[in-house]
Amino acid sequence: MSSAAGAATTEQARLDLLTVNTIRTLAMDAVQAANSGHPGTPMALAPVAYCLWQRFLRFDPDDPIWPNRDRFVLSCGHASMLIYSLLHLAGVKAVNPEYERLGELSVKLDDIKRFRQLDSKCAGHPEYRWTSGIETTTGPLGNGVATSVGMAIASKWQAKHFNRPGFDMFDYDVYAIAGDGCMMEGISGEAASLAGHLKLSNLCWVYDNNKITIEGHTDWAFSEDVATRFIAYGWNVTRVGDANDLEMLERAFQTFKNEKERPTLIIVDSHIAWGSPNKQDTHAAHGEPLGEEEIKLTKRNYGWPENEKFLVPDGVREHFARGMGARGKDLRTKWLALFEQYRGKYPDLAEQGFRMQRRELPANWDKGLAPYPADAKGAAGRDVSGKVLNTLAQNVPWLLGGSADLAPSTKTRLTFEGAGDFTAHDYSGRNLHYGIREHAMGAIMNGLALSKIRNYGSGFMIFSDYMRAPIRLASIMEIPTIFIFTHDSIGVGEDGPTHQPIEQLASLRAIPGLITLRPGDANEVVETWKMIMQLKHEPVALILSRQAMPTLDRTKFASAAGVAKGAYVVGDAPGGKPDVILMATGSELGFAVGAWEQLTKENVKARVVSMPSWELFEHQSQEYKDSVLPPSVTARVSIEQASTFGWHRYVGTTGEAIGMKTFGASAPLKELQKKFGFSAEAVVAAAKRQLARGR
């Protein structure tokens, strides 16, 4: 080696170590200033993340939403200072909700100094939409790696749908860093099993094998052979014995890049070089500030100015700019030039890609959606939804989804010609098969939505409990994931209490930002889907019946378009001046309408209100809400085959809520309805009790 080459190598090594230690010291200082956080994991993983970002990640800091960028997910979200340091040092720019690049840093040094403080871009755990460059909100362990599987599926599907000979518009890779906690959580096993089955060779997980959790050493609760487990899942597994060995890390990442048949797990053994020789990697290292004295000793161990805080030495930002920055800019510039050629040759596909990336719909997206005629026998919500879904999916080519092994029951299979199945042998299919993995399905759906794929996933409503964390995360992230739940009441019948959702609807309504929708007849299902498709930032829980619901005569009753406002007057008293209001959702709307018809015959001034979405109703003006539920009318009855929790918001403290106050029972539907008091006659009786109270 020439002396010049040797000097260059030495300088490269110096800058490598300087940058790694900058990441470490920023983490120490930020956690100490906040008096809160986890310094140990960012310190230990600094060389791992640095090697990935500087030498491999295809990411342009000037355009963090470039469609073909590689994705980086920090699944161990408690190590958030790791990604904040990287975003700052790499010079990642901010982007606003209108997809406009602002030219300013996503994470400024002042944000790091205000780590975990109100309105800082450096929240306690990484948050999508709050800080540009963060691909998904992480924190609940295991959800990050599971979400990364959705991103990898999206890349494979987009490649099949959009790429053409000479035009590789989508070929991005997905990286996720996980800790022991992620590996212990069941969701990671569900997701890893599916990823191996699908042979997602564009997916790389890095497992920080530091053998430490909050309680202490993992030996207390975790002794499985993770490598063997992942080999059994069908993954390529490689190991790096020392997280500080950049060359071995580079070799491991190159092994991933060379792998064409399997996802890759890189197991990295990490430990932290403390200033105190007797200090251990314990909870104090991972869940608490280190203390000023320990920080000084550790900085001294790094050869760092021990009294300097939030120091970014000269040359560090420039070093990142010459590596990751230059590579990312070159890749993005070439991609944009290629896209212009692609637009000229494949204008329809280019337009699809543009609209998909901006969460816009194609022209005539609702073509073929027709109203349903009146039908006393009616149809099940799930059946109508399945037909609507197939119509929409033919109009919106990037609408796809599946179920947790329940598509025949949830009616979510796309059956039109060319829909196909997404498998390891054909990534072009639009029917996804999640297997019986509800928790992972929810997170994978979020990964697809974050990749701008309009997607849905379905299951029985009772199993929404398994999906609580990803549904909640979708709401926090404000992404339009579509969660479809059928078998929505005691209407499940003979399956009994284990399968009859009682409290699930109320608990879903309790999630801020989630729109719950429980349509009450076929036309409400159609209008519900029209509303769902136009959402850009709200996730939806679409709740559908297994049993048939009568299709209302819309020449007699109000248009189902009222669904868009969450609640609307279906049938009214003469002159629009009711003495009693009947409210219902879903299949119980038929009971309310039947009661209204009976009361009207008896010259009782009644109004029936369909309330498919409380959230949408609350978004309306006070004037509209009062027009539907006049405050002066206090005689009110609600009917819903679920927990009555929350209904007193609308029926008032003196109104009557007909619903479930226990779990259900195993019996045919009609027997259950009789036992628990669900009928038009029961609503009539309740209405008369309400009217008698007011006299």
**pLDDT 10s digits, 169-198:** 999 999 999 999 999 999 999 999 999 999
User: H or E stretch including 511?
Assistant: none
CA 534 to chain centre: 18
**What does the pLDDT read at residue 603?**
95
**What does the pLDDT read at residue 285?**
44
**What does the pLDDT read at residue 103?**
85
Catalytically active residues, by annotation: 438
Q: Which domains are present in the chain?
A: 3-332 (3.40.50.970), 375-549 (3.40.50.970), 565-694 (3.40.50.920)
Q: Do 680 and 598 contact (CB within 8 A), yes or no?
A: yes
Q: Do 405 and 433 contact (CB within 8 A), yes or no?
A: yes
Separation between Cα atoms, residue 281 and residue 273, nearest integer Å: 9
Separation between Cα atoms, residue 672 and residue 678, nearest integer Å: 8
Separation between Cα atoms, residue 364 and residue 193, nearest integer Å: 39
- DSSP code per residue over 84-133: HHHHHHTTPEEE-TTS-EEEEESS-HHHHHTTTSTT-SS-SS--TTTSTT
Q: Which residues contact 350 (CB under 8 A, 6 or more apart)?
A: 339, 342, 343
Alpha-carbon dihedral sign for residues 615, 584, 471, 124: positive
Exposure letters 528-547 (e unless 16+ CB within 10 A, then b): bbbbbbebeebbbbbbbbbb
Alpha-carbon dihedral sign for residues 615, 620, 622, 627: negative
CA 347 to chain centre: 31
Q: Strand 454-460: give its sheet, edge to edge.
A: 431-433, 399-403, 454-460, 482-486, 540-543, 515-517
**What does the pLDDT read at residue 101?**
81
Stated length of the chain:
695
Q: Which residues contact 680 (CB under 8 A, 6 or more apart)?
A: 590, 591, 592, 594, 595, 598
Separation between Cα atoms, residue 644 and residue 661, nearest integer Å: 7
Select from 415, 429, 420 the least CA-distant residue to 387: 415
**What does the pLDDT read at residue 9?**
80
| C-alpha pair distances (Å), 156 with each of 150, 159, 206, 347, 396 | 10, 5, 20, 21, 18
Select from 134, 154, 112 the least CA-distant residue to 64: 134
Beta bridge partners of 174: 71, 203
**What does the pLDDT read at residue 413?**
98
Separation between Cα atoms, residue 27 and residue 685, nearest integer Å: 65
Beta strands of 27-97 (E only): which ranges? 71-74, 93-95
Task: Give the mean pLDDT per block of 10 residues along the chain (695 residues).
Answer: 65 94 96 93 96 98 97 96 98 88 92 95 95 96 97 98 98 97 96 98 94 69 89 98 95 98 96 56 59 93 94 96 97 98 98 96 96 97 98 98 96 97 98 98 98 98 96 98 96 90 96 98 98 97 97 97 98 95 98 97 97 98 98 97 96 96 92 91 96 81
